[in-house]
Amino acid sequence: MDEFSIIQQYFSDAKSRTTQVGVILGIGDDAAIIRPADGEELLFTTDTLINGVHFPEETAPDAIGHKALAVNLSDIAAMAGQARWFTLALSLPEPDSTWLKAFSDGLLTLAKQFGVSLVGGDTTRGPLSITLSVIGTIPEKMAIRRSTARPGDAVFVTGQPGMAALGLAAINDEIILSDIEQSKCRNKLDYPQPRLLEGQFLRNYASSMIDTSDGLAADLSHILQASGCSAVIDSERLKNCLPAAADLPGKSTIEAALHGGDDYELLFTIPASRVLKLEQSWRHSFPLLTHIGEITTGEGILLRDSNGDFMKVAARGYNHFNA
């Protein structure tokens, strides 16, 4: 089995071809040829997943394929863009056909769901590692950045932050969850859903946006540093979106929400005057949406408890070189 046949056999099937809008020439030449519409800006991002670092060693191959694409789509979502085309660089120890079939299934099923086309790739022998690069498109000047939050803006998060971290903690026997909770948290860890439709909806609302890959505190800090401001998170509000898992010794759900990574939810700010309109128009098909705090002047993040007392929150999150 050579490189060319791996790409031909597993990654250039009808499943991805059905959605190849804008693809003039796909897999098989030196480079793909793609045609964006006039006046569109491009969003360009890349993310690597390494075995044992970004997913537990025993992760199902279709989950690895799903997640490799999902984390990249999440970056396009966090800019409010539409994901369009991607390349795959796959390094694996052995060309194992069972593994490749499941991996490509997970990858291409998600690609089809969001109409994003695989247009090129490179396979090499080496330690298991997957790098995807995605191009998205967005109408001119509509991308939502990290640097444009303003004091007075409300802070929102989608979904239930901390679920993926609880799933990982359960795998590592750090906590015990009920079967149903463990299944939900593990599913969140293995099959994150990129919030592309939600991100596009937020073009008309968000003043700044990021996806939560490192944890709420670390990712909010990226917004705050880029925007030159501070935030107050209301612990009572935050509790409204925590996973149902009961607090357990050594790993509280609020700790998981603030400092656990891998959720790939959207964390964004919007002007206070737009909060009501946003909450009224947020779609039923979208995930839970929670107003967790406010942007203020200053630096860093404060957590306000039910007594009105403030506690400083460390910006730490998951970091591959400090872990």
Q: Which residues bind its own copies (CB under 8 A)?
A: 1-3, 6, 24-25, 28-36, 38-39, 41-48, 50, 53-54, 74-76, 78-79, 81, 85, 87-89, 91, 95, 119-127, 129, 131, 133-136, 138, 140, 143, 145-147, 209-211, 226, 319-323
Distance CA 67, CA 287 (A): 19
* CB nearer to its own copies: pick between 51 and 113: 51
Are 112 and 18 in contact by the 8 Å Cβ rule? The answer is yes
Beta strands in 93-197 (DSSP E): 117-125, 129-139, 154-158
CA atoms of 147 and 139, how far apart (whole Å): 19
For residue 253, which of 275, 231, 265, 238 has the smallest C-alpha distance?
Answer: 238
Burial state string for 17-52 with b = 16 or more CB within 10 A and e = fewer than 16: eebbebbeebbeeeebebeeeeebeebebebbbebe
Between 98 and 280, CB nearer to its own copies = 98
Of 65 and 136, CB closest to its own copies = 136
Shortest CB 216 distance to its own copies, Å: 15
Between CA 159 and CA 263 the distance in angstroms is: 9
To the nearest whole angstrom, how small is the minimum distance from the Cβ of residue 174 to its own copies? 21
User: Residue 174: phi, psi to the nearest 5?
Assistant: -85, -25
Residue 272 beta carbon to its own copies: minimum distance, rounded to whole angstroms: 24
Nearer to its own copies, 139 or 248 (CB): 139
Considering beta carbons, is residue 280 or 321 the nearer one to its own copies? 321
Q: Which amino acid is at 82?
A: Q
The token duo for 304 is: 């306000």
User: Side chain identity at 96, as an amino acid letter?
Assistant: D
**Comparison of 55 and 166: residue with beta carbon closer to its own copies:** 55
- For Cα atoms 35, 140, 285, give the angle at the middle one, nearest 5 degrees: 90
Min separation Cβ 126 and its own copies, Å: 4
| 108 or 143: CB nearest its own copies | 143
State the nearest-atom distance from the C-beta of 215 to its own copies, in Å.
13
Looking at this protein, which amino acid is placed at residue 26? G
Smallest separation, CB 171 to its own copies (Å)? 20
Beta carbon of residue 296, minimum distance to its own copies (angstroms, whole number): 22
For residue 314, how many other CB atoms are within 10 A of its CB? Answer: 12
Cα separation, 220 vs 242, in Å, equals: 17
Shortest approach of its own copies to residue 43 CB, angstroms?
A: 4
**Closer to its own copies by Cβ: residue 185 or 315:** 315
What DSSP line would sit under 225-240, residue for residue? HHHT-EEEEEHHHHHT
